[in-house]
């Protein structure tokens, strides 16, 4: 195509193309704003199954539970008018790629020329549905969840049990202590935050919890919840044989990606998320990139140049914020104007008065070294390494230094990093980071290859829900 022709195509699409965004949260909103910013004036439909306008989730486990902000008061700021057809409170239930339509729960079909998938994740529910239905048993993902949980905490329960000591579980435990509530945290791993940060940091996090009066139980799982006659949870049974009297239980067991609505659409989607290239374009089930379907946010799984091109999901705020923008840009651009979304993974978490921040991918590492500050004072920086390269870093109340490590990771600089000029622990000895061994392969395959003739060879998704 000649240059003018390409320009014409882009201009025409920006004027008349139809874009649909499914998922009306951080990634979806930022994408919508970017589309308009980039001059897209065609019809834009935003479909979200929650009734609220897009809101921010991180405050839910912090400010909101603490009572500093109302659960319905975390609406996201708007950068500009988006002039969209908002379809809130209705879920997308299917995608038909042949006719390019999204099917809604109310039966409507919404046609598109380009589609953005931004349906994020939901909390993994308590495994036993009867127990999950007991009053006083919660999960936390939505504003409604937060409102209910806040009310339960404000009522002054006797003891709160938090199952799972990841970031959100630990933050909730911290809030409970600040509210003066007795709290038990049960974690299957050897300590809190171990999955994301490894056992060395997990030990420090465990100490923090205990110092603040959390009854932390590690290496145990909660096997059953029992209710009273009114159907309110009252007791929990742990794998070590102990029982606990509890009035509130929060299951903080990680997340499930909202991909069910894509079943049968022939995309590379499943429990791992929706696979895409680094420009947010979704792969079909055969691993061939599509040209009209894009994905961003918690649900996206993309290859990352810094991590051996491994496909990573990044369930962090900035990945949705920036990913939404990049996806939108690429939706209304053609090569070579398309941009990669290659953020350095980053997260933060406030708990027990300590600001924990990180960059890079900790679990990619096998070693860790404390580089600055003092662990005892809980003011320090640590770097993670693998094969002599720095791949991640974490700080406890030392956030001003994190940027330095981010730059080292971006350059794949040597590990351990050079010793700072001051305030570093003696020796700076790297040690094993102690990440749990990655999960064993699942018992049944998700994808199988079918066909013999090269022209008909392809992949097929084996739906777990159907198999069982």
Taking CB under 8 A as the binding criterion, the range among 129-137, 153-161, 238-246, 368-376 that sits at the site for another protein is 368-376
Taking the C-alpha atoms of residue 416 and residue 115, their distance in angstroms, rounded to an integer, is 44
Q: Is there binding between residue 197 and ligand FAD (CB under 6 A)?
A: no
Q: What are phi and psi of 370, to 5 degrees?
A: -80, 125
Rounded to the nearest whole angstrom, what is the least distance from the CB of residue 58 to another protein in the complex? 7
Q: Which is nearer to ligand FAD, 23 or 270 (CB)?
A: 23
Q: Is there binding between residue 168 and ligand FAD (CB under 6 A)?
A: yes
Q: Which is nearer to ligand FAD, 25 or 218 (CB)?
A: 25
Single out the residue of 17, 21, 40, 48 in contact with ligand FAD (rule: CB under 6 A).
48
Single out the residue of 191, 371, 385, 391 in contact with another protein (rule: CB under 8 A).
371
Could you tell me the two tokens for 205? 């996090």
Taking CB under 8 A as the binding criterion, the range among 57-65, 96-104, 192-200, 450-458 that sits at the site for another protein is 57-65
Q: Quick one: DSSP state of residue 239?
A: T
In whole angstroms, how far apart are CA 385 and each of 307, 336, 360? Answer: 12, 35, 10
Single out the residue of 125, 418, 432, 445 in contact with another protein (rule: CB under 8 A).
418
Nearest to 370 by CA among 417, 406, 407, 436: 417
Q: Which is nearer to another protein, 227 or 425 (CB)?
A: 425
Taking CB under 6 A as the binding criterion, the range among 238-246, 284-292, 343-351, 387-395 that sits at the site for ligand FAD is 343-351
Taking CB under 6 A as the binding criterion, the range among 117-125, 326-334, 362-370, 381-389 that sits at the site for ligand FAD is 117-125
Rounded to the nearest whole angstrom, what is the least distance from the CB of residue 421 to another protein in the complex? 3
Instruction: Give me the residues paired with residue 350 across strands.
Output: 355
In whole angstroms, what separates CA 173 from the centre of its chain?
20
Check: CB of residue 195 under 8 Å from CB of residue 169: no
Taking the C-alpha atoms of residue 118 and residue 298, their distance in angstroms, rounded to an integer, is 8
Taking the C-alpha atoms of residue 267 and residue 274, their distance in angstroms, rounded to an integer, is 8
Q: Is there binding between residue 210 and another protein (CB under 8 A)?
A: no
Q: Which is nearer to ligand FAD, 92 or 214 (CB)?
A: 92
Going residue by residue from 79 to 98, which x/- string records binding to another protein, judged by CB under 8 A? xxxxxx--------------
Q: Is there binding between residue 59 and another protein (CB under 8 A)?
A: yes
Q: Which is nearer to another protein, 405 or 461 (CB)?
A: 405
Q: Which is nearer to ligand FAD, 175 or 244 (CB)?
A: 175
Q: Is there binding between residue 316 and ligand FAD (CB under 6 A)?
A: yes
Q: Cα Rg for the chain, rounded, in angstroms?
A: 23
Q: Kindly report each contact of residues 152-158 with a partner whose C-beta sits within 8 Å and lies 24 or more positions away, as own/partner.
A: 152/247, 152/248, 153/65, 153/179, 153/181, 153/248, 154/67, 154/179, 156/181, 157/181, 157/246, 157/247, 157/248, 158/182, 158/245, 158/246, 158/247
Q: How many CA atoms, within 13 angstroms, populate the side-chain half-sphere of residue 40?
A: 29
- Is residue 186 within a helix (H) or strand (E), and if so which, with residue range? strand 182-187
Check: CB of residue 297 under 8 Å from CB of residue 319: yes
Single out the residue of 74, 119, 314, 330 in contact with another protein (rule: CB under 8 A).
74
Rounded to the nearest whole angstrom, what is the least distance from the CB of residue 211 to another protein in the complex? 13
Single out the residue of 23, 28, 48, 58 in contact with another protein (rule: CB under 8 A).
58
Q: Is there binding between residue 400 and another protein (CB under 8 A)?
A: yes
Single out the residue of 258, 330, 372, 395 in contact with ligand FAD (rule: CB under 6 A).
258
Task: Give the one entry of another protein, ligand FAD, none that residue 424 binds, where binding means its C-beta sits below a cut-off of 5 to 8 angstroms depending on kind.
Answer: another protein
- Is residue 384 within a helix (H) or strand (E), and if so which, with residue range? strand 379-386
Concatenating the DSSP letter of every residue in 246-306 gives -SEEEE---EEE--GGGTTS-BSEETTEEEB-TTSEEEBTTSPEEEEEEE-GGGEEEEEGG
Q: Is there binding between residue 282 and ligand FAD (CB under 6 A)?
A: no
User: What is the rounded end-to-end Cα distance, in angstroms, of the chain?
Assistant: 50
In whole angstroms, what separates CA 435 from the centre of its chain?
19
Taking the C-alpha atoms of residue 252 and residue 162, their distance in angstroms, rounded to an integer, is 7
Q: Which is nearer to another protein, 335 or 377 (CB)?
A: 377
> Could you list the residues that contact ligand FAD (CB under 6 A)?
22-28, 47-50, 57-58, 60-61, 91-92, 118-121, 140-141, 168, 258, 261, 297-298, 315-317, 320, 347-349
> Could you list the residues that contact another protein (CB under 8 A)?
56, 58-59, 62-63, 66, 68-70, 73-84, 316-318, 321, 346-348, 350, 352-355, 357, 371-374, 379, 397, 399-404, 407, 418-424
């Amino acid at each position: 195509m000649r240059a003018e022709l390409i320009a014409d195509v882009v201009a025409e699409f920006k004027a008349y193309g139809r874009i649909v965004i499914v998922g009306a949260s951080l990634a979806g909103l930022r994408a919508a704003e970017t589309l308009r910013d980039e001059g897209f004036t065609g019809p834009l439909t935003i479909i979200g199954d929650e009734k609220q306008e897009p809101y921010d989730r991180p405050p839910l486990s912090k400010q909101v539970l603490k009572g500093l902000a109302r659960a319905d008061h975390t609406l996201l700021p708007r950068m500009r008018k988006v002039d969209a057809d908002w379809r809130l409170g209705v879920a997308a239930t299917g995608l038909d790629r042949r006719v390019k339509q999204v099917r809604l729960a109310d039966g409507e079909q919404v046609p598109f020329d380009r589609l953005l998938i931004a349906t994020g994740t939901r909390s993994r529910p308590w495994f036993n549905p009867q127990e999950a239905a007991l009053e006083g048993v919660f999960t936390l993902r939505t504003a409604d969840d937060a409102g209910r949980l806040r009310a339960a905490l404000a009522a002054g329960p006797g003891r709160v049990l938090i199952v799972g000591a990841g970031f959100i579980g630990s933050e909730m435990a911290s809030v409970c202590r600040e509210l003066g509530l007795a709290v038990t945290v049960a974690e299957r791993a050897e300590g809190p935050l171990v999955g994301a940060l490894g056992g060395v940091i997990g030990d420090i996090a465990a100490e923090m919890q205990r110092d603040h009066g959390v009854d932390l139980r590690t290496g145990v799982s909660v096997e059953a919840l029992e209710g009273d006659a009114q159907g309110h949870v009252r007791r929990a049974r742990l794998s070590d044989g102990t029982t606990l009297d509890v009035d509130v239980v929060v299951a903080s067991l990680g997340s499930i990606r909202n991909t069910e609505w894509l079943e049968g659409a022939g995309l590379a989607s499943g429990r791992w998320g929706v696979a895409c290239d680094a420009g947010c374009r979704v792969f079909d089930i055969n691993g061939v990139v599509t040209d009209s379907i894009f994905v961003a946010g918690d649900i996206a799984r993309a290859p990352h140049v810094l991590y051996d091109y491994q496909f990573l999901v990044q369930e962090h705020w900035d990945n949705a914020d920036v990913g939404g923008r990049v996806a939108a840009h690429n939706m209304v651009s053609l090569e070579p104007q398309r941009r990669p979304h290659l953020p350095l993974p980053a997260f933060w978490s406030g708990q027990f008065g300590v600001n924990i921040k990180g960059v890079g991918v900790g679990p990619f590492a096998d070693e860790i070294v404390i580089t600055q500050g003092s662990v005892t004072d809980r003011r320090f920086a640590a770097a993670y390494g693998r094969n002599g390269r720095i791949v991640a870093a974490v700080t406890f109340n030392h956030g001003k230094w994190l940027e330095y490590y981010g730059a080292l990771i971006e350059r794949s600089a040597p590990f351990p990093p050079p010793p700072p000029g001051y305030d570093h622990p003696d020796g700076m000895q790297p040690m094993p980071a102690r990440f749990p061994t990655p999960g064993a392969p699942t018992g049944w395959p998700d994808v199988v290859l079918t066909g013999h003739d090269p022209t008909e060879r392809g992949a097929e998704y084996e739906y777990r829900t159907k198999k069982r």
